Structures are given as structure tokens and as C-alpha cells.
Structure 1
């Protein structure tokens, strides 16, 4: 139970950068990955923009065999395999074709909805009486655990290989689940992360809820505005993030680079009671999640240097900030620096937690805090709670010792993890 858990590899497929170097350059420069999609205009969406990683055919061929590519029609699996494989290699681990699995390595890789386009393709073929044309990969592309199954086979992992799903909390929850497995001594290494499909069949429900911005179709890079007074809803996105968690002794033994240490965290739910509902967080549960994450990590509130929030560019942003001030008992100029990745990527739903964990660890390792894009007009309710200087608009150089990362999801579920400089 005294095992320390560190991060030795990372990978990402984000709307503003595919590959760790491309992604880090993007977040340092406030580069947006949000674009206009003519398909959404044709389908009469109110919000005709979104965040989608750009994957070329040449890049695909570096991660999938011709056989695997035949009939592959799940963007989430594509993003997950790219980020997961990159994280594995970034950790200095090899991919072998040994007959024996790697019993000391496992995978927890989550998703929200997987293979929607494959489902649509399958439904048409079945309705037309062409079931035999479905192909042999339709099941693995549409089952929820398709992403962990793909990665498990590619990497040859013999420990726990599974998929979790908790809406927008999925990626951060996967990381904490992997952390717990290493901490308890059940394995020495876990690949954790999450992915999410793109497109109208994923984003349509949110458009119908009228919680997406509809005034930025001609200016997509300005649309996602976390903590801004002019925020008009979250921009839907997609992608994947992945991290290799490892027992510290194992990492040291093989001379691995260590990005940061995972101190611990907390996962809870507001039970959809009180202020909580299917779509809104119970504030008491959020505060409790933050406080318990600190307690579980043996960290005082005044030790937190930075927060990477959930902060989706909705009316809930100011409520989230209020919850942080109450949980940490810090406000004004005493509040930690805080930022949101979503100004650059949009809200990548089930992929958001893992992508944002990657961005959080990059900041710790690189001694900087990336800027909050489209936050020129900080919401007055937020500026009344914390010093606006704690919301940097551009990248600043800053040594971060401890960073808190939070994710909150539909179903009134919460996850907070604490990372520390190694």
C-alpha cells in the first residue's frame, strides 16, 4: 500500500494537435482546433462547429495493419489506438509479438459512446437483409470495450484490460482506477485514458438540448469561451488521451523518464439529490470530492499551485469556481492559478478528462501554465471570487509543484486527481 505511482509515458489525439509534441506546441500558443463542418450545416444543426483531430491516411497506416483498417469505421478507436500506442512508446516500452502476454501490464481505457458510425452502417445492412456484409469487425467496433480490446491485442497486456464509462468524468476516473490497481500491488503498470467519437450522431443530442453555441459558425475559433461573460455554451469535440502509470520502483529500475507523480484523488457522485440532477452537479458532492482528493493525497489546500478545471464554457463555470473557493478556502489573490483546455479543443466529452490530464502533466513537467483562450471578458461572478490574474490569458512560465485536475459528468459524477512534480 506504500507504492508510489508515477507517469512515464503520454499520448494524445486532440483537435488542436495529434501527437504529444504537436499538442504541447498548440497549448503553449493558444492554438484552436475548432472548425466549421459543412455536414452539420447541411443537417441543419444550430451549432455547425466542433473539434475533431486531423488524421491522415498516412498516419493511420502507422498504427493499423491493412487487415485492421479493412472496414474500420470508429473514430474513437482510431483516436484511442493512436494515443495509447504513442503513450506506450513514449514510456520507452516495446511492442513485441511474444506468445506470452505481459502479465505486469494492464489497460483501463474508457469511452462514452463507441462506434456510432459503425452502428449506423450495420443497421442499414441488416435492414436491407445484407447481414453477411457486416464483416468480422462490426462487433469489436461497436462494443463499449472495443478500444481496450484493440489496445490489449496491440500491446499484449496480460493484466486487467477493461473499459470504464462515466460521461465526461471517464478519463480522469480511468486514471484513478489504474492508480488504485498499482497502489494495491495488483500490477506494476497500467495504460489509462479515454476516447470519444466525433460527428453528428454524437453531437446531435447536445444540439437538440440547445446547450451548444450557435452564433459562432462563421468564427469557430472564438466559440469556446470558458470562464467568459460571453460564453454561450460548450463546443462539442472528440479525440483521446493516454497515460502510462507505473510503480515508481519499476520506473526507476528500467531508467524511465518520469513526467510527474500521481498522489491520489477521489471519485464520487451527488446522487442526483439536492441541487444535483442528470445534467447538473450537486455542489456539495463537488466540494466533498475536492476535499477528499486532498485528504487521500495528504495535501493541504495551501499547497495547490494550479487547478485544471472542468470549465466547459457554460453558466456552470462560475458555480465550479465557487465550489473550488469553498473547498480550498482560498479566494482572491490567494487562489491558485486556474485554466481550462476547452477554449482550444472544445468539450471532448468522454475524451476530455484524459486529454486534460495530459495537458496538466505537461505543465508540471515543463514549468508553465497554458493560457485560457477566449477569456478576455472574465465573468463578473468569477472575478468577484478570484483575482483575474490567476486566470492567465497567455502562457506564463511558472514552476508547479502540485496541480489539481477535476472532471464532472452527466449523471452527477465527479473525479479529482492530484499530480505532483517528481
Structure 2
């Protein structure tokens, strides 16, 4: 017998909404969090827009101690702590006071952490002022800094670790936590991911010329998943967090439940065939979806909705084709599908976790959030699925089974299957 796993808490720090209620409202109203970034203009970026959480009104001393706030210069870590602690509170859980909570663990991923702190440290060292680095330089720049911070704040005594798989990171972290609870090795796991913001994170993508250049004066129109006029992804940042818990534990303590995790799968295309460092192997993507359905014991015709990776690049049409192949569904038979990246941009390592939070909100609210900026559907997509399956407005719709997938640099894939609870 495998333990059933449910989601009992969520937190988010997204470009269009910090904290769960604000994020849900923004998604429902199709509000964009993509804005012009003056710093990118000053640094001669071609793409001068991005999705960056607005945390100016957030009281950080309600998340960090005064000691932790001293010298804190890692926005990715800040985003992760806000989302992670909010998820824990949302689940009705408190921090362990005396002994570690042996039943609770953390898997919280990132792509790169504390890049601004690292830059600050480099200057200190080059100036010969190594003693002025401060005592938190290491923990703010090590990849596992986010899980270490959250682990100490909450007193988690089970596995506390960090994963990193580019854009797949957040969805992979969720599946890793799910598997640990399912196997009986933990009762609950805080899972999620975070991503730094700023020019030192986004610069490499601008150099690759895969970001849109013609929307600096119209940032809200720039991110165009599934659109014929899509010209690249808009960089984003932030964090999403979810509390996974065994169904038995959740029921015993009367916790609210956002949805059930039925199963999933992670794989790699090995950068063979159509796969490369920056493009997915299509055979591997199809296989990942099929294996996720198999693990969840769900038939392809049972999927009601898909929250895709769909980044507003030339890969969008191929992703739709892969979904159609895996599910053997097309036209009016294709599930409803959406992408949140039109509103928040591509949040890199945080993308999967933020989007999983949004996907589960759809289950809880029994509605499908609309897509923005894809009124001019890509002709290849238009030939595969009916326009009605790509809603342009948020609509109430029964959703029992939802598939969410992420595909990352390095030709790595993850797909998770959620179900409405109670089923």
C-alpha cells in the first residue's frame, strides 16, 4: 500500500502577486506582473522588462530575525522564505519549539542563489577586505541556503535538502517530496523552489537572444505563449511553496486540502535525437507524460486540464504536439490548456513551483484561468486543437484531473498529476 499524498498548504511570491490570495486574484483577473526594469536599460540589455515580485510592502521582520536581516542580500532566498513560511502557516502548522520535528522535511530547490551577495563578496575579496564579508556570506550563496534557512526556522528534522534542475526544479522538488511521503519516510514535506532576480541572472539569456526585444514600451504584451507573434520568453523570478502531507495525517488533524498528488515522473532526453542543452527530446517528453499517467493510474482520456510549460518560444507548438501525441487527443477532444507565463514571465527555477500553486488553485476553485496575449494562436497549434480549449478568459469549469509539466535546460522533464479532493 502506498500512502496517499495531499496538499495542505501553499505560499507564493510571484511577479503578479505576493501571498496566496493576491496571486489567486491576479490569475483570475489576468493581471500581469511584467514591468519595465530601468536597471536593465542602464546596462544596455536588449530586453528591458521582467517579472519581479514586489515585496516593498512586506514586513521582512515577520519572516526573519534581526540577526538574519543584517547583511541579507539574496532576493531569491527572501522570496523562498516568504513562500515557504506562508505555506507552512497556511497548512496550520507551527515551528518545532524544543526538539526537531522528525516527521517533517524540506525539499526546496533553486537554480542559483544569492548572486548579488556573491558579487558583493567578490568585491570585498578583491579589495582585500575579506574580514568584512560578514558571517552570512556562505549561507546566502550556497545552493542549499534556502532549505537550510527554512529548516532552521521551522525545526524540521526529516530530510532537508535542495535540488536543482533548471526550469524543472520546482516540479521535480514536488515529486521528490511526494515520493518520500508515499514511501512512509516522512509525514509531511515542504516543497518548492525559488529564483533570484536581476541582471546577473537574466544577462545570459539576453546574450542568447531568446528574450523579446520589441516590447520594452509595452511590457504586459511581451510574454505570448502559444501566439503566432511570440518572440521569446520574458525573464521572471520568485518562489512557490507547497506543504505535502499524508492523507491520514491531514484527515487526523482536520487540515484543509487543496488537492491530491496522484503521481508523476521525471526523466531526461539525454540530449540525443531532438534533445539538446536548450531543447527537449520530444520522445522523452511524450514518455515522461505517459509514465506520469501510468504512475498516477490515470488514463489519457481522463485528463481534464493541462498547465503547460509553454514559454512563448518556438517550442510551444512542439509542446502541444507532444501533449497531443501522449494523450492521443486533438481538436475538441483535447483538454483545456493554459500557461501562466503570459502574466508572470518565465520564473526559471521557480517556474514549476509557482505554476503548481496556480494549478492547484484551479482545482480548489473549479475554474480554468485564462491565457493572455494569444489571441493570434500559432497556426500549428490551431491545426491541432480547438480554439475553445485555450480559454482567453477565466471560466468556471469542472476539473477533476489536471496534468502539470516542466521542461528544463539540460533536456530534463517532470510531469505531475493532480486530482481534486474529495474525488
The answer for the alignment partner of 2:5 in structure 1 is: 5
Measured in 2, the distance between the counterparts of 1:291 and 1:57 equals 44
What secondary structure, in the 3-state scheme, does the structure 2 residue paired with 1:384 have?
helix
Q: In structure 1, list runs of 5 or more residues that go unmatched.
A: none
CA apart distance, 1:99:
2.1
The answer for the alignment partner of 2:25 in structure 1 is: 25
The answer for the alignment partner of 1:78 in structure 2 is: 78
The answer for the alignment partner of 1:233 in structure 2 is: 232
5 Å matches for 1:241-256?
241-256=240-255
What secondary structure, in the 3-state scheme, does the structure 2 residue paired with 1:419 have?
strand
Does structure 1 residue 55 correspond to structure 2 residue 55?
yes
CA apart distance, 1:61:
2.0
The answer for the alignment partner of 1:333 in structure 2 is: 332
Measured in 1, the distance between the counterparts of 2:85 and 2:396 equals 30
Q: Deviation per CA, 1:181-211: give whole Å up to 9, x if none.
A: 0000001000000000000000000000000
- Which runs of structure 1 show a deviation greater than 4 angstroms over 4 or more consecutive aligned residues? none
The answer for the alignment partner of 2:221 in structure 1 is: 222
What secondary structure, in the 3-state scheme, does the structure 1 residue paired with 2:93 have?
coil
The answer for the alignment partner of 1:258 in structure 2 is: 257
Does structure 1 residue 140 correspond to structure 2 residue 167?
no
Q: Deviation per CA, 1:9-61: give whole Å up to 9, x if none.
A: 00000000000000000000000000001110010000000000001264212
What secondary structure, in the 3-state scheme, does the structure 2 residue paired with 1:61 have?
helix
What secondary structure, in the 3-state scheme, does the structure 2 residue paired with 1:233 have?
coil
What secondary structure, in the 3-state scheme, does the structure 2 residue paired with 1:407 have?
strand
TM-score relative to the length of structure 1: 0.99
What secondary structure, in the 3-state scheme, does the structure 2 residue paired with 1:9 have?
strand
Measured in 2, the distance between the counterparts of 1:314 and 1:58 equals 33
Measured in 2, the distance between the counterparts of 1:185 and 1:226 equals 39
Q: Deviation per CA, 1:319-354: give whole Å up to 9, x if none.
A: 000000000000000000000010000000000000
CA apart distance, 1:95:
2.2
The answer for the alignment partner of 2:117 in structure 1 is: 118
Measured in 2, the distance between the counterparts of 1:8 and 1:48 equals 38
Q: Deviation per CA, 1:84-128: give whole Å up to 9, x if none.
A: 0000000010124x2200000000000001010000000000000
Q: What count of residue pairs does the alignment treat as equivalent?
A: 421
The answer for the alignment partner of 1:165 in structure 2 is: 164
Measured in 1, the distance between the counterparts of 2:390 and 2:46 equals 30
Does structure 1 residue 399 correspond to structure 2 residue 394?
no
The answer for the alignment partner of 1:91 in structure 2 is: 91
5 Å matches for 1:341-380?
341-380=340-379
Q: 1:109 to 1:49 in 2, by over 3 A?
A: same
Measured in 2, the distance between the counterparts of 1:36 and 1:309 equals 26
Does structure 1 residue 185 correspond to structure 2 residue 184?
yes
Q: In structure 2, list runs of 5 or more residues that go unmatched.
A: none
What secondary structure, in the 3-state scheme, does the structure 2 residue paired with 1:194 have?
strand
The answer for the alignment partner of 2:279 in structure 1 is: 280
Measured in 2, the distance between the counterparts of 1:164 and 1:407 equals 15
What secondary structure, in the 3-state scheme, does the structure 2 residue paired with 1:359 have?
helix
The answer for the alignment partner of 1:204 in structure 2 is: 203
Measured in 1, the distance between the counterparts of 2:2 and 2:64 equals 39
